[in-house]
């Protein structure tokens, strides 16, 4: 089998940031852009803990789908299997720079969130006890301060 595009990215050189992972062109002319929101440098720093990544998923998905401007364009937000970040799928032919503001808003929301985690109940979630809000706050704050607050082109274009 041919290697898929995401496995062709040089993960030994990949930095934290927001990357266009792929674009899918649908029959009716619509475009879906998949973003790689990379919170950790792969294989060079510890991955995000599963409980924190689950909490970030709940908070991020809730924030995004309720966003006044972008909510109607959100297709999916969820964790990468390697636990180093998230995939965000949006309708539209977009570039990384187009969503920096949205991603900063989302991580600021997660960094400062307190209270009940949306959807964290036996009724709403298949593993509701796997959550860690303090670590989700910490991971979001770290990504926001160290990357998003001063993001540059090297954090938005995959290494060649």
pLDDT of residue 54: 98
Query: Residue 19, Cβ neighbours under 10 Å: how many?
Result: 20
Collect all residues with Cβ–Cβ distance below 8 Å to 59 and sequence separation of at least 6.
Answer: 109, 110, 113, 117, 118, 136
In a domain, 158, yes or no: no
Backbone angles phi, psi at 74, to 5 degrees: -75, 125
In a domain, 1, yes or no: no
CATH of the domain at 66: 3.30.1360.80
Q: What is the pLDDT of residues 54-91, one digit of tens each?
A: 999 999 999 999 999 999 999 999 999 999 999 999 99
Averaged pLDDT, 126-145: 98
In a domain, 156, yes or no: no
In angstroms, the CA 96 to CA 88 distance is 11
Q: CA dihedral defined by 25, 28, 29, 31, rounded to 10 degrees?
A: -40
In a domain, 160, yes or no: no
Number of domains in the chain: 1
Collect all residues with Cβ–Cβ distance below 8 Å to 119 and sequence separation of at least 6.
Answer: 58, 62, 125, 128
């Amino acid at each position: 089998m041919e290697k898929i595009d995401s496995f062709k990215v040089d993960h030994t050189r990949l930095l934290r940031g927001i990357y266009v992972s792929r674009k899918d062109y649908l029959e009716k002319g619509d475009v879906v852009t998949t973003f790689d929101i990379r919170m950790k440098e792969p294989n060079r720093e510890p991955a995000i803990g599963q409980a924190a990544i689950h909490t970030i998923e709940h908070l991020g998905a809730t924030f995004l789908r309720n966003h006044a401007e972008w909510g109607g364009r959100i297709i999916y937000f969820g964790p990468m299997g390697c636990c180093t970040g998230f995939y965000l799928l949006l309708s539209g032919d977009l570039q990384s720079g187009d969503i920096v503001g949205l991603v900063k808003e989302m991580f600021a929301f997660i960094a400062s969130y307190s209270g009940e985690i949306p959807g964290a109940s036996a009724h709403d979630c298949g593993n509701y006890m796997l959550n860690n809000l303090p670590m989700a706050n910490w991971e979001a704050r770290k990504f926001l301060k160290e990357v998003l607050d001063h993001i540059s082109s090297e954090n938005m274009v995959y290494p060649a």
